[in-house]
Amino acid sequence: MRAGDILLFKGEDGISKIIAWGTGSEYSHVAICVSDGMNLAIEAITRGGVRARDVRNIKSAYDIYRVKESYVYDLDRTISYLVGRLNLKYDYLGVTFLGILKLLSKIGIPLKDAANKWQKKRDYFCSELCYEAFHKGGGLDIVPDVPEADITSPADISRSAILELINETRTDKDG
């Protein structure tokens, strides 16, 4: 794993399974490695908001994605963006509304454009933080095929043509 790598999680709890189902993906959470030497990743979680954690303590299975070498972005600014958001709150309202929109789209009612009014500017959910770190921090839109990328999901990130799968299904047991 290297700094800038994206960790996409395959959660086993009920909420994770609902997120994965609602987005048509196996992924329910995302974090970004900010220091491979310190095994450190930054993420936005429901209990704690934006926080850093030691990757070695991750119990859930995850896959590692990386920006393809043909794309240029500023890694230092991406990491700086993430560090600058540490301790901000989790965006409960934004992620709840996004979930409702995803569920409605499953039954044929696409309303994704309506989500922007529910976004809070200083609160984050995991995939929103990831998108903004690369886009606003590093200058790279990692999900160019998603029209409203600021409400992107872990599934959208996993499907990006700009990213490549580096390692499948790692857990803390894999080291």
Q: Report pLDDT digits (tens) over 97-135.
A: 666 666 666 666 655 455 444 444 566 778 889 999 999
Task: State pLDDT tens for residues 6-18.
Answer: 999 886 666 656 6
CATH number of the structural domain spanning residue 147: 3.90.1720.10
For residue 1, being part of any structural domain is answered with: no
Count of structural domains within the chain: 1
Domain that holds residue 151: 6-174
What's the pTM?
0.80
Residue with tokens 């990692």: 142
Question: What tokens appear for 46 in the block?
Answer: 């429901």
Q: Are 157 and 143 in contact (CB under 8 A)?
A: yes
Residue with tokens 């993420």: 43
